[in-house]
Amino acid sequence: MPLPPPNPPPRAATGQPPPPPSPRSPPPAVEPPQEPPPVPAEEPPPTYPMDFEKFWLAAQSNPHDFTAWTELLQFVEQENHLLAARKAFDAFFSHYPYCYGYWKKYADMERRFECARETEEVFERGLQSIPLSMDLWIHYISYLQSTLDMNLPESIQKIRGVFEAAVAAAGMDFRSDKLWELYVEWEREQGDLRAVTGIYDRVLSMPTQLYNHHWEKFKEHVLHNPPKDILSPEELLWVQSKLATDPVPKPPEPEGTEAPPGEDLPPGVEGKGAAAANAQEDLDQEKIRELVISMRQQIYAQNEAEVSKRWNFEDGIKRPYFHVKPLERAQLRNWRDYLDYEMAAGSHERTIVLFERCVIACALYEEFWIKYTKYLENHTVTGARSVFQRACGYHLPRKPNIHLLWAAFEEKQGNVEEARRILRCFEEVVPGLAMVRLRRVSLERRHGNLEQAEALLTEAMEANEGLPLASFYAVKLARQACKVQKNLGKARKVLVEALEKEPDNARLHANLLEMEFGADVRQNEGNTMRCFERALRSPLPDEAKVVFSQRRVEFLEDFGSSIHSLLTAYDEHQKILKQHAARKRAPENGSEEPEDKRLRPDDGSGLGGGPIGFPSGGDVASSPSYSYWYQHGYGSYSYQSPWNYNQYYPQT
C-alpha cells in the first residue's frame, strides 16, 4: 500500500512571488538579506529486507511464473516486513486475484501490525475479486466478531449486513452450506428466532450439498420453539385462520376431580375446565407446527429434485478453486456439460453463479470466458463488458482470441475508439501476431479509414522485411489496393517490389497472376503474360514452373489474341516438361537433388506438384472452368502430336 504523501510545504516555499507593492505606498525599508527558508526534505524511499530485491525481480521478470510469486510472498511473510508485504501482495493480486488463501494471509499480516482500516480494506478488495469464496467471507466475519464491540447496536447491524452480503453473493453456490449454518447460529445467538426462520426459508429453496441437513435442522427449530416466537405476526395469523376454517376434533376430556355444586376444589387440584383448556392450547400449538412444516414440505421436495439433477455434475468437480496447474480433461468436459445444462434448464441467476464458479477453477482457459461473454451478451451488455475486462485484464492478458472478441464486441456496440484501443494495447503486449494486425486493418477499412488501413499494412510489411510475413502482408496490401481502392497499378507495384526481394516466392507469383487475371483479359493480356514470364525466369522450383507454364498455355488458348504466342508458349512448355522429366530421372544415376532444394507438399510457397494454390477466394485452380481440365484423366504427356490437348491439360 503506498505511503501517504508528505505534508505540503509552507506557503513561502511554494515558489509563488509575493504580491507587488501598491504604487501609492512608500517604498519598503531596506532590510538585510535573509536566508531562504529550508526546503522540506523528501521522505527517503522505503527500505526493504535484504534479498527482497532478488525475489522481487524474479517475479517481475516473468509475471506468469507462479512459483516465483509464491517464493516472494513466502519471503515477506517470514521477514514480517509490512511495507515489503504490501508491495508484494498488491503486485501478486494484479495477476492472480482468485487466490483466496493469499488474501487471508495479507489481511492477517495487516492485523498483526494492528492496521484495522487496512485490514478491512484488504478483506473488501479480496471479496470484490472473488465474491464466491466461502472461506474468505467466513474469515472476514470472524474478524469482525472478534474486533467489534458486540454490545453496540451498530456492531450487530454491521455483522448482519456482512452476512446478508455474503449470502447474496455466494448463497446460491452448491457448497455454501457452511455460510448458511454460520448465519443461522449467529442469529440464534442474538435471540432472533424469527430471523432464523427467515434464513431457513431462503436456504430450503437453494440446491446445496447439505440440503437435507438444513431441512432436519429447520424441523427441530419449529418443534422446539413456540410458534409465536419463530413466525412473523402475519404468518402466525394466517396459520391460525387456516386452522379455524378446518376445525379439528376436540380431544376427549380428561377425567378429573369435580367439586359438587357450591363447593371449591381443594388447593392443588385442577378442574376439568382448566385441564381441557391447556390440552386444547397444546393441540393448537402442535397443529400450527404441523402446518408450518407441511407448507415447506413441498418446497423441500422441489429442491431435492433440483439437487438430484445437479448431483453428478457437482460430484465431477474435483478442484473448485483456482490453480495454475492444468485441469484434467474429464473435469473440463464436466464443466462444459454442466454449463450447457444450467443454461438450458436453470434460472439466469443460477447460470451466472455457475459461470462465476467455473471461471475461478478454469480461469486460464479461454473457452470458458468466451462462453460466459456470449451468454451475457444476450442479457446485459454491461455484464459482458465486465467479464471481458476481467478476463483480458487479469487472467488472459496474452490470449489473442478473447481480445479480438472483446474488440469486436465494442465495435458492435458502437465504441469504435475503445475497439481500437483494445487491439493497439494488445499488440503492444504481444507484438507480431498477424491476426491482430489484420483485425486492426479491417477495423479501419470498415469505418472508411483506408489510409490508416494501408499504413498499418505497410508498417507491418516493413517491420517483417526478410521474413515470410513480409510477403504475407504484401499480398494483403495489394489486395486492398486492387479490390477496395480499385487501383490495379498500385497493387501491381506492391507485388512486383515484393518479388524483387523474394523472386523465389511462389505465393507472390501466384497472387500477382490471380490479380492480373481478375482484370479485363482483353485489355490486360500484356500484364498477364509478363507475370507468366517473370515466374518462368525466376529461381522457382521445377514443379512450380511446370504449373505456371501450364497456366500460360491454358490462358493463351482461352483468351490469347495471337496464335504465334500460343505456339511459342506450347513449344516452351514442352522444353520445360522434358527438363523436368530429365531431372526426375537424375536421382537414378546418383545425382539426386539435395533435400533442402526440393519443394515439399507442406512448402509455404503454396505450390506443390499440382495446381497453384491461391490463398483465399480467387483460386484459378478451383474455378470450374479450370478444374474441369485437371480433374479428369486425360492421360500422360505425349510429345508426338502437337495438338493433343492432353499435352496442354494433363492430369498433374
Task: Give a three-class secondary structure readout of 579-643.
Answer: HHHHHHHHHHHCCCCCHHHCCCCCCCCCCCCCCCCCCCCCCHHHCHHHHHHHCCCCCCCCCCCCC
| Alpha carbons 115 and 111: distance in angstroms, whole number | 6
Higher pLDDT, 266 or 51: 51
CATH number at residue 213: 1.25.40.10
pLDDT digits (tens, 9 = 90+) for 424-481: 999 999 999 999 999 999 999 999 999 999 999 999 999 999 999 999 999 999 999 9
Cα 339 to Cα 351: distance, rounded to the nearest angstrom: 7
Phi-psi region at 125: left, alpha or beta (left = phi > 0; alpha = psi -120 to 50) = alpha
Choose among 222, 169, 157: nearest CA to 196: 222
Rounded Cα distance, 367 and 387, in Å: 13
How do residues 330-356 score in pLDDT, each as one tens digit?
A: 999 999 999 999 999 978 999 999 999
- How many structural domains is the chain composed of? 1
Range of the domain at 92: 63-247+279-307
The answer to whether the beta carbons of residues 208 and 176 sit under 8 Å apart is yes
Band (pLDDT 50/70/90 cuts) for residue 647 is: very low
Residue 46 lies in a domain: no
Q: Identify residue 552 by its one-letter amino acid code.
A: R
Quick check: is 338 in a domain? Answer: no
pLDDT of residue 272: 53
| Higher-confidence position of 255 and 477 | 477
- Could you give the 3-state DSSP secondary structure of residue 448? coil
Between 544 and 5, the more confident residue is: 544
In degrees, rounded to 5, the angle at the alpha carbon of residue 464 between the alpha carbons of residues 462 and 469 is 120
254: nearest Cα among 233, 236, 231, 270: 270
Comparing 187 with 252, which gets the higher pLDDT? 187
Query: What kind and span of H or E run contains 516?
Result: helix 506-518
In the structure, what pLDDT confidence band is assigned to residue 521 with cuts at 50, 70 and 90?
A: confident
Q: How far apart are CA 517 and CA 525, in angstroms?
A: 8
Please determine, for residue 370, whether its predicted confidence score (pLDDT) is greater than 70: yes
User: Rounded to 5, what percent of the chain is helix, strand, coil?
Assistant: 65, 0, 35
2/561 Cα distance (integer angstroms): 80
- What is the share, in percent, of the chain residues with pLDDT greater than 70? 77
Residues 371, 339 contacting (CB under 8 angstroms): yes
User: Is residue 524 domain-resident?
Assistant: no
Residue 173 lies in a domain: yes
Q: What is the pLDDT of residue 360?
A: 98
- Structural element, H or E, at residue 295: helix 272-315
Torsion from C-alpha of 373, 180, 118, 359, nearest 10 degrees: -20
Cα first-last separation, the chain: 71
pLDDT in tens, 147-197: 999 999 999 999 999 999 999 999 999 999 999 999 999 999 999 999 999
On whether residue 582 sits in a domain, the answer given is no
Q: Could you count the other beta carbons within 10 Å of the beta carbon of residue 586?
A: 12
Determine contact, residues 133/160, Cβ cutoff 8 Å. Answer: no
DSSP string, 450-493: HHHHHHHHHHHHHHTTTSHHHHHHHHHHHHIIIIIS--HHHHHH
Q: At residue 55, what are phi and psi to the nearest 5 degrees?
A: -70, -35
CA distance 494 to 443: 22
pLDDT at 396 over 90: yes
Cell numbers that stand for 22 in this block:
501598491
Residue 427 within a domain: no
- Is residue 370 within 8 Å of 402, Cβ to Cβ? yes
CB 324 within 8 A of CB 62: no
CA dist., res. 339 & res. 514, Å (int): 47
In terms of phi and psi (left: phi > 0; alpha: psi -120 to 50; beta: otherwise), the region of 365 is: beta
Please tell me the predicted confidence (pLDDT) of residue 241. 87
pTM (two decimals): 0.78
pLDDT tens per residue across span 85-94 = 999 999 999 9
